[in-house]
Amino acid sequence: MTEEDIVHSEELTKQVKAEDSELKGLIVNYVGETLGLEETVTVEDLVQVFAKEFPEFVLALAEENFLRGYKQALTDIQTFHEQEQQVTG
């Protein structure tokens, strides 16, 4: 991941545009009202409210993310060992 990708990724977590879809607008407005925000709602704000009010949803996302990361780590290890065997013969 390049530095530009990291900066862009960080920018995405800073603010959420409510006008992208009807559902997104409902969620952003709800979170803003729940937290008493007058300015921009961030992804962090969304996670805070979802974790408190809909923990099953956040847990499902976290589990899926963990499993994908674990699977990728196993794939990376296998690829590394295969490349190492090719080099050492």
Residues 6-38: pLDDT tens digits?
556 666 667 777 778 999 999 999 999 999 998
Mean pLDDT of 65-89: 91
Rounded-to-integer distance, Cα 45 and Cα 66, Å = 21
Where do runs of H (alpha helix) occur along 15-89? 22-35, 43-53, 55-88
Provide, rounded to the nearest whole percent, the portion of the chain with pLDDT above 70. 83
**Does residue 76 register a pLDDT over 90?**
yes
Q: How many helices (H) and strands (E) does the chain have?
A: 4, 0
pTM of the model: 0.66
pLDDT at 59: 95
Nearest 5°: CA angle at 9, between 42 and 75?
Answer: 125
Please tell me the predicted confidence (pLDDT) of residue 88. 83
Alpha-carbon gap, residue 44 to 2, rounded angstroms: 23
